[in-house]
């Protein structure tokens, strides 16, 4: 039978006694923070739904959204969740720092391209007359989706900081616990994105 889990996300386990111990409180705290953040997203989703018809004569979802870029963004983020999982796997089983670094850099690249596509998307939306000053609907869209993007950007910055720390200090407890928490954030952001592509993009284009 497998060992019971001490906290959400990947448990580092016996091979990393110090970090595993340090993780219990830290990861629980971070997970609580994620749940608090979840409420923020939940409310913005609810707000978005109530503003769906607040078009004020401006363009609606069918005029503004593009299926193709939403699809590309979804694939980028989903794959990055998988590659982060690979990184965490390498961390736990000590597959060498090179492998860990490789998966982290791949994840970072996917995250950054996601942000790139998203920024491009926002520009197109605004060019099509969907700027937030246009209507309640556009405001609700720009209140919800860019906040997710901002989270991804913060997570990318955090990843860069952790990579630098790894190069400076090696894989010490601080870096390990950081990577475990960043993993929670990364997977959490992908879950929020499921809501965004389903409700905002697919729901809007259906």
| 132 is a site residue for other proteins (CB under 8 A) | yes
Which residues, 178 to 197, sit near other proteins by CB under 8 A?
A: 178, 184, 187-188, 190-191, 194-195, 197
Residue range at the interface with other proteins (CB under 8 A); choices 23-31, 106-114, 117-125: 23-31
Minimum distance from residue 84 beta carbon to other proteins (Å): 8
Q: Residue 84, Cα to own-chain centre: how many angstroms? A: 11
Q: What sign for the dihedral angle of Cα 112, 117, 122, 126? A: positive
93: which 2 tokens? Answer: 């089983």
Contact residue for other proteins among 16, 100, 111, 135 (CB under 8 A) = 135
Which residues, 81 to 120, sit near other proteins by CB under 8 A?
A: 81-82, 85-86, 89, 92-93
Contact residue for other proteins among 17, 29, 96, 116 (CB under 8 A) = 29
Question: Would you say 79 and 187 are in contact if contact means Cβ atoms under 8 Å apart?
Answer: no
C-alpha closest to that of 26 among 151, 158, 184, 192: 184
Helical H segments across the chain, by residue range: 17-50, 61-64, 67-92, 97-127, 136-169, 173-195, 203-205
| 169 is a site residue for other proteins (CB under 8 A) | yes
Which residues, 139 to 158, sit near other proteins by CB under 8 A?
A: 139-140, 142-143
| 163 is a site residue for other proteins (CB under 8 A) | no
Which residues, 62 to 81, sit near other proteins by CB under 8 A?
A: 67, 71, 74-75, 78-79, 81
144: which 2 tokens? Answer: 């919800």
């Amino acid at each position: 039978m497998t060992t019971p889990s001490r906290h959400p996300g990947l448990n580092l386990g016996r091979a990393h006694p110090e970090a595993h111990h340090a993780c219990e409180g830290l990861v629980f705290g971070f997970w609580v923070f994620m749940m608090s953040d979840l409420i923020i997203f939940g409310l913005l989703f609810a707000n978005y739904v109530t503003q769906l018809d607040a078009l004020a004569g401006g363009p609606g979802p069918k005029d503004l959204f593009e299926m193709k870029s939403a699809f590309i963004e979804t694939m980028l983020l989903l794959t990055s969740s998988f590659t982060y999982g690979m990184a965490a796997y390498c961390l736990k089983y000590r597959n060498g720092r090179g492998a860990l670094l490789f998966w982290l850099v791949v994840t970072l690249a996917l995250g950054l391209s996601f942000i790139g596509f998203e920024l491009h998307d926002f520009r197109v939306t605004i060019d099509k007359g969907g700027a937030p000053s246009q209507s309640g609907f556009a405001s609700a869209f720009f209140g919800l989706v860019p906040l997710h993007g901002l989270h991804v950007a913060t997570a990318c910055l955090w990843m860069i900081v952790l990579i630098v720390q790894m190069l400076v200090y090696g894989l010490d407890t601080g870096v390990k616990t950081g990577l475990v928490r960043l993993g929670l954030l990364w997977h959490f952001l992908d879950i929020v994105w499921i809501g965004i592509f389903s409700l905002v993009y697919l729901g809007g284009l259906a």
